[in-house]
Amino acid sequence: MPRMNMVQAINSAMDIMLTRDQNVVLIGQDIGYFGGVFRCTDGLQRKHGEHRVIDAPIAEGGIVGSAIGMGVNGLRPVAEIQFADYIYPGVDQIISQLARLRYRTAGDFFAPVTIRTPCGGGIRGGQTHSQSPEGIFTHLCGVKVVMPSNPYDAKGLLIASIEDDDPIIFFEPKRIYNGPFDGDPDKPATPWSTHPKGEVPSDYYTLPIGRADIVRAGEDVTVLCYGTMVHVCQAAADYAEVDAEIIDLRTLSPLDVPAIVQSVEKTGRCVVVHEATRFSGYGAELAATVQEECFYSLEAPVIRVTGWDTPYPHAFEWDYFPTKRRVAAALEKVLEMT
């Protein structure tokens, strides 16, 4: 089977969909001739034409707004926002049009837009290239939110997202574009080629949206995570020598509640991990769900490990980032509680 990194897997997903469905178009800044600042659209304009892989002006509101219009007129647009940190001028369009269009028009209008955007830190990007704003979008009614943690999932989920008639915000954790990252910046980078999820079929396939993945079975504590943190949590469980069941949520909204409940009922403990800031973050939704659904199985409070509640700094990045040690400390703590 071919080996791909996440960039290649995402590129392959879009290439396949551009080939299969003439209604698929891509729009975004620098995505055309240049092939995207992270190379995710490399070669796609040359292959599919300037009218289907479209370079956009620097106007996120324009990119999202026009993608919605294209979607209403029968196309299936995939918009790229160059960094999730730059999505905010498009947020009015996402909230006021994209998320609610179907509801407001009783199903008469909809826009099957996928918005791809790189997110997360660990690249010395400071506060404007490191943010994890997924919680803003999981709070909306009417958009689905997806964040893969490896090339295989990225391709299958992106194809499924493009085919989905609901709008989807597809977050791509940029720190793991080229290889899994366990949160230790001092270790040499590992490529995807040595990781089982770096094996990616070259053909069409989909993975179901709304389905979590147990990346590691365990008995003592359930870890809920997604994106880059999936890898950090696995390293943390090894480091702390804890028999953790690690669940990669993959789709943040709608949430795979049965998978979570089944696991927590078994382990009786739960740690929630995300890079995004903590207060009113997505982890609060997860903790509340676990509390509501599994209260009588819980042997300890649910603990969150998150980015601190400050803007993402340039210096002290590794004090900010929820590292293996921080996750390990939480695993140890939740196991000590009775």
* Residue ranges in contact with other proteins by CB under 8 A: 22, 29-30, 32-35, 37, 49-51, 54-62, 85-86, 88-89, 124-129, 278-279, 308-311, 313-316, 319-320, 325-326, 329
Please say which residue, 68 or 294, places its beta carbon nearer to other proteins: 68
Smallest distance, other proteins to C-beta of residue 123, A: 9
Please say which residue, 33 or 109, places its beta carbon nearer to other proteins: 33
Residue owning tokens 């069941």 = 245
Q: What does each C-alpha distance from 82 to 69, 90, 289 come to in angstroms?
A: 20, 12, 32
Decide if 129 is catalytic: yes
Please say which residue, 218 or 313, places its beta carbon nearer to other proteins: 313
Residue owning tokens 């997110």 = 119
Please give the full DSSP string across 158-190, using - where no structure is assigned: HHHHHH-SS-EEEEEEGGGSSS---S-TTSPPP
Smallest distance, other proteins to C-beta of residue 208, A: 32
Strand 251-253 to 144-146 pairing: antiparallel
Burial of 62 (0-12, 13-18, 19+ CB in 10 A): middle
Please say which residue, 205 or 308, places its beta carbon nearer to other proteins: 308
Smallest distance, other proteins to C-beta of residue 326, A: 6
Q: What does each C-alpha distance from 40 to 134, 154, 227 come to in angstroms?
A: 20, 12, 17
Annotated catalytic residue within 48, 129, 231, 274: 129
Between CA 129 and CA 201 the distance in angstroms is 31
Question: Dihedral of CA 254/259/263/264: which sign?
Answer: positive
Smallest distance, other proteins to C-beta of residue 144, A: 26
Please say which residue, 210 or 311, places its beta carbon nearer to other proteins: 311
H/E element, 64: helix 60-72
Smallest distance, other proteins to C-beta of residue 229, A: 17
Please give the full DSSP string across 250-302, using - where no structure is assigned: SEEES--HHHHHHHHHHHS-EEEEEEEESTT-HHHHHHHHHHHHHGGG-SS--
User: What positions carry a catalytic annotation?
Assistant: 129
